[in-house]
Amino acid sequence: MIIIGHRGASGNFPENTLAAFRHAAALGCPWVELDVHLLEGELVVIHDEQLDRTTNGRGHLEAAGLAAVRALDAGNGEQVPLLSEVLTALNGQVAINVELKGAGTAEPASKLLQAACATGIWRTDQFLLSAFDHAELQRADPIFARGILWGRPADDMVARSLAMGGQWMNIALKTATEARITAAQQAGLKVAVYTVNEPRDLAAMRALGVDAVFCDYPERGLQA
């Protein structure tokens, strides 16, 4: 069972910051997950469209603009990073699930990751692109694995995940039933479950044989 540091080690450090990603890597976490929006041509690593929850700013990300967002405190003095900065900081040591949160993110993310792989520091199999916006995800370069994110279960979610070129089906903990996991895996999909933080839930997911879990506290997952 792969432990994916959800927005880095976000239970211990401000989410989606270099500190959170570095700590997850230091713990020995093999994967981290992060979220990207496109802002003035740059891929910024932040979950919400609104600034209020994760920074000391207010209002909408796009209305603030890139320079203002970069000047904000994302917690403990951390800056909202660019995806390029995360790639530099992690230096090929940890695989990354890039969740495409905003419109128009698939193509620039694909190009940036292609350029990272061209340096020889990163490999294509160290990246997974995922999204709830399935149309956006399908615009991503198929050289990178795709994780089809589902909030609500659907009877045909396995078939639809395969039809969209998915290698992974990423589902919520409350929807992670044995039947659903088995059906996906028998069809050739890997299953990742979000967000799994409690020891009892981590043990349950391991017992069900899921391929990966997203965890705010990677050390708990690694211990499990």
Q: Where are the domains of the chain?
A: 2-48+83-223
pLDDT in tens, 160-217: 999 999 999 999 999 999 999 999 999 999 999 999 999 999 999 999 999 999 999 9
Look up the pTM and report it. Answer: 0.98
Q: Strands of 9-68 (E only): list them.
A: 31-39, 42-45
> Quick one: pLDDT band at residue 224, thresholds 50, 70, 90?
confident
Secondary structure (DSSP) of 166-211 = -SEEEEEGGG--HHHHHHHHHTT-EEEEE---SHHHHHHHHHHT-S
The yes-or-no verdict on residue 74 having pLDDT over 90 is yes
State the Rg of the chain over Cα. 17
The CA distance from 75 to 87, in Å, is: 20
pLDDT in tens, 105-157: 999 999 999 999 999 999 999 999 999 999 999 999 999 999 999 999 999 99
Cβ-proximal residues to 143 (8 Å cutoff; 6+ apart), any chain: 110, 114, 124
Q: Which residues pair with 51 in a beta bridge?
A: none
Q: Do 69 and 57 meet the contact criterion of CB atoms below 8 Å apart? A: yes
The yes-or-no verdict on residue 98 having pLDDT over 90 is yes
Q: Among residues of the chain, what percentage have pLDDT more than 90?
A: 100
The CA distance from 11 to 6, in Å, is: 9
Whole-number average pLDDT of the chain: 98
For tokens 């795709």, what's the residue? 146
Q: Do 187 and 162 meet the contact criterion of CB atoms below 8 Å apart? A: yes
34 three-class SS = strand
Q: Amino acid identity, residue 124?
A: T
- 2-48+83-223, CATH topology level: TIM Barrel (3.20.20)
Q: Do 126 and 116 meet the contact criterion of CB atoms below 8 Å apart? A: no
For 71: left if phi > 0, alpha if psi spans -120 to 50, otherwise beta; the answer is alpha
